Structure 1
């Protein structure tokens, strides 16, 4: 059984999230998703997520192609998360291309193309126009 792991904030869930998670699941039999903690998200993006980590985890866990979720506390712990969840394949969006190749001794590292024309940052900016 091939186990796939991926990571993300998954704030303001959109079709791009759905598509990349579906494609990640197609690479194996079990998909585990690490949801960035609120603190990790703030450290990466200098803003709090719209939805708290508990709500984002619940949304992602409810998707039929997601088998397990956990809270990712640190980017530096990716190798530990891969080991802990016995992942055979790490999937990341192609905006991270090359940045996780150093993990290839632990598992296969695959970068999937993002859905063009949609991003959480773009959606939040669009919504803020109506405030």
Structure 2
């Protein structure tokens, strides 16, 4: 069995995330996703709209993902690859060359990001909205999460 491992924040889950996870899952038999914990995001100077628990639930509901786990620090990748017996470490090409030191453990693959979409851009567009608009969006997103829960997509 060929296991693929990847990492990300997966905030404001969008079609770019889905397309990336689909391509990652096609590289092997099992896709395992490390999701940045809220504490790790804080160390990186990032904040997420959704909590780790919510982001993990969203990503885990994607049919391309077999398992999720928390990423607490940069250094854990090596031990995670060994723990999950991963054959491939894959991540977006905006990280090109940053994880080449893992090549002694497994194949390292950098995949192109989906063009014309990014979480950063979505957040910038959302920041231009007023509070009432944001409340409506948040309510809608929580409704989508509840629908996904009931569908048990796997």
Per the TM superposition, whether the score is higher than 0.5 is yes
Match of 2:3 in 1: 3
1:40-79 pair list within 5 angstroms: 40-44=40-44, 46-79=45-78
- Measure the CA separation in 2 of the matches of 1:30 and 1:91: 13
TM-aligned CA deviation for residue 76 of structure 1: 1.2
* 1:31-110 equivalent positions in 2, closer than 5 A: 31-44=31-44, 46-110=45-109
C-alpha deviation, 1:47, in angstroms: 3.1
Provide the alpha-carbon RMSD of the alignment: 0.7
Query: Are 2:27 and 1:27 equivalent residues in the alignment?
Result: yes
Give the gaps of 5 or more residues in structure 2.
131-154
**Runs of 4+ displaced beyond 2 Å:** none
Give the TM-score of the pair, scaled to structure 2: 0.83
Look up the SS of the partner of 1:28 in the other structure: coil
- Higher helix proportion, which one? 2
What is the deviation of 1:39?
A: 1.2
TM-score, normalised with respect to structure 1: 0.97
Structure 1: which 5+ residue stretches go unaligned?
none
Q: Which structure: larger Rg? A: 2
Per-residue deviation at 1:7?
0.2
1:33 is displaced (CA, Å) by: 0.3
